[in-house]
């Protein structure tokens, strides 16, 4: 066989292999459902050099609310763009509680505040007890108000009594068990409101004293005291009656009404 013939044969052979692979891919595509094709399309977009396109792909995959789509999003949790990582936090939730929690907890240590905050909110949506320790650490130690508040909100959504000690320590550190390091009193109103609300969602009487302390503290903003009164009504501990009765005559009409309704829940209205 001449050199020219040999080259023609090699070229023809390579062309047949390429055509065969194209046909296989085409056949596989024909076997996919429209939804699977859409997942495949969005997965390809996750490799785009444009962060906005990757974010859009993450959102579209999350909106499908399918485990298969959520698993495709998981690599985006390590995307170079904080915005993409933050949106990916909620987009993975359809793949199941345990998988979601395991994937999200590392994001609570992300260098970007927005990512940590969105990861905390997403963990709250899992309602998983496995997230409590990691969220508690953020509540007590994160430097950013928004992250601490998100952690408190998430702990309230999980609504497990194991979070009570940390929430009480945030609202009323003077009532917490003594520790080697003195905890700084929380100043951020959003964090205080979120912690008070979370104790109401948990409904443990172990939170009563801290909520009463907040309700009695006239130096605190009224919206924080209102949240404390509402939560005391949800817990239903008779020990809260004196504080609620006094608050029911407060100058703030919203606080007085919430306190009155809380008393009714205690059967004292």
Residue 104 and residue 149 share a domain: yes
- pTM, rounded to two decimals: 0.85
Residue 206 and residue 192 share a domain: yes
pLDDT at 32: 75
269 within domain boundaries? yes
7 within domain boundaries? no
Residue 264 and residue 163 share a domain: yes
Mean pLDDT of the chain: 89
261-265 average pLDDT score = 95
149-156 average pLDDT score = 98
How far is 259 from 243, CA to CA, in rounded Å?
A: 9
237 within domain boundaries? yes
pLDDT at 267: 84
Question: Which of residues 158, 178, 206 is at a domain's end?
Answer: 158
pLDDT at 107: 98
208-221 average pLDDT score = 96
pLDDT at 185: 75
Q: Are 56 and 26 in contact (CB under 8 A)?
A: no
Give me the helix-helix angle, 51-63 and 82-91, nearest 10°: 10
Residue 192 and residue 90 share a domain: no
pLDDT above 60 for 12: no
> pLDDT by residue (tens digit) across 101-147?
999 999 999 999 999 999 999 999 999 999 999 999 999 999 999 99
The enclosing domain of 78 has a CATH number of 1.25.10.10
pLDDT above 80 for 187: yes
Residue 268 and residue 163 share a domain: yes
Residue 120 and residue 53 share a domain: no
Residue 69 sits in which domain range?
33-95
4 within domain boundaries? no
Residue 229 and residue 137 share a domain: no
Residue 236 and residue 194 share a domain: yes
Question: Which of residues 140, 158, 176 is at a domain's end?
Answer: 158
Domain count, the chain: 3
pLDDT at 7: 39
240 within domain boundaries? yes
147 within domain boundaries? yes
């Amino acid at each position: 066989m001449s050199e020219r013939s040999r080259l023609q044969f090699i070229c023809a052979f390579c062309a047949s292999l390429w055509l065969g692979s194209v046909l296989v891919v085409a056949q596989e595509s024909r076997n996919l459902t429209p939804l699977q094709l859409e997942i495949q399309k969005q997965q390809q977009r996750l490799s785009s050099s444009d962060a906005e396109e990757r974010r859009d792909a993450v959102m579209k995959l999350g909106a499908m609310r399918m485990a298969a789509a959520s698993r495709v999003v998981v690599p985006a949790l390590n995307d170079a763009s904080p915005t993409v990582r933050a949106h990916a936090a909620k987009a993975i939730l359809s793949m199941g509680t345990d998988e979601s929690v395991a994937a999200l907890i590392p994001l609570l240590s992300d260098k970007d505040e927005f990512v940590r905050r969105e990861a905390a909110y997403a963990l709250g949506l899992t309602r998983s007890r496995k997230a409590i320790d990691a969220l508690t650490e953020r509540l007590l130690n994160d430097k950013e108000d928004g992250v601490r508040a998100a952690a408190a909100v998430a702990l309230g959504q999980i609504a497990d009594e194991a979070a009570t000690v940390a929430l009480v320590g945030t609202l009323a550190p003077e009532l917490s068990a003594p520790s080697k390091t003195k905890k700084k009193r929380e100043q951020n109103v959003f964090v205080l409101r979120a912690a008070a609300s979370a104790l109401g969602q948990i409904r443990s009487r172990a939170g009563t004293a801290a909520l009463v302390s907040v309700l009695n503290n006239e130096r605190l903003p009224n919206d924080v005291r209102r949240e404390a009164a509402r939560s005391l009504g949800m817990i239903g501990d008779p020990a809260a009656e004196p504080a609620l009765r006094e608050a029911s005559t407060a100058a703030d009409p919203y606080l007085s009404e919430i306190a009155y309704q809380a008393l009714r829940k205690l059967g004292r209205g």
